[in-house]
Amino acid sequence: MDDFQPLVSVSETIDASPSQVWEIATRKTGVMFMGADVKTNWQEGHSIIFKGEWKGKAFEDKGEVETFDIEKKLAFTHFSPMSGKRDSPENYNLVSIELRPNGSQTDVRLTQSIHEQADEPSRETVAEFKKNWEMMLAKLKEETERA
């Protein structure tokens, strides 16, 4: 994970315990992954596959679970063939979700990092990434607080 540099970071405070947030965030189909079906055993070093539809197009993204520290941190690499890039290490992102207790609430920070050898994305692309992650954290907040 040392080969990655932070690109986008977003955060949200959720009125729920870390265990409640974790349970919703790691569902096999859920708000955190654009409604995708997630296929993984959540073991570090094992594969993670995201299959679903985004903006009317079917997708199947993949990666590897890097960190699975229950109720604290989830991190995984992520590659999307929809990016048009070839499937090579420098074209994978690292997504890290950290939970921190804050009284009766949980602070959630999500960071998307790019490989240090990757081409820097355009300002517009970075803005789109940030918008998508903010939307997903808002949905995580909504679903967790409703549960």
Contacts with 14 (C-beta within 8 Å, 6 or more apart), sequence order:
21, 105, 106, 107, 108, 140, 141, 144, 145
Residue 30: its pLDDT value, please? 67
How much is the pTM? 0.93
- pLDDT tens string 120-146: 999 999 999 999 999 999 999 999 999
Distance CA 105, CA 91 (A): 35
- pLDDT for 1 equals 61
Q: Is 79 left (phi over 0), alpha (psi -120 to 50) or beta?
A: beta
**pLDDT at 95 (0 to 100):** 96
β-bridge mates for residue 64, sequence order: 47
Residues 37-85 have pLDDT tens digits of 999 999 999 999 999 887 888 999 999 999 999 999 999 999 999 888 9
pLDDT for 104 equals 96
| Dihedral sign of CA atoms 116, 120, 123, 129 in order | negative
Quote the pLDDT of residue 137. Answer: 94
Q: What is the pLDDT of residues 1-37, one digit of tens each?
A: 679 999 999 999 999 999 999 999 998 776 677 778 9
Q: Is 65 within 8 Å of 46 (Cβ atoms)?
A: yes
**CB 27: neighbour CB atoms within 10 A?**
12
Kind plus residue range of the DSSP H or E element containing 59:
strand 57-69
What whole-number distance in Å separates Cα of residue 132 and Cα of residue 138? Answer: 10
Structure tokens at 44: 């570090």
pLDDT value at 94 more than 70: yes
pLDDT at 93 over 90: yes
CATH architecture of the domain covering 4-146: 2-Layer Sandwich (3.30)
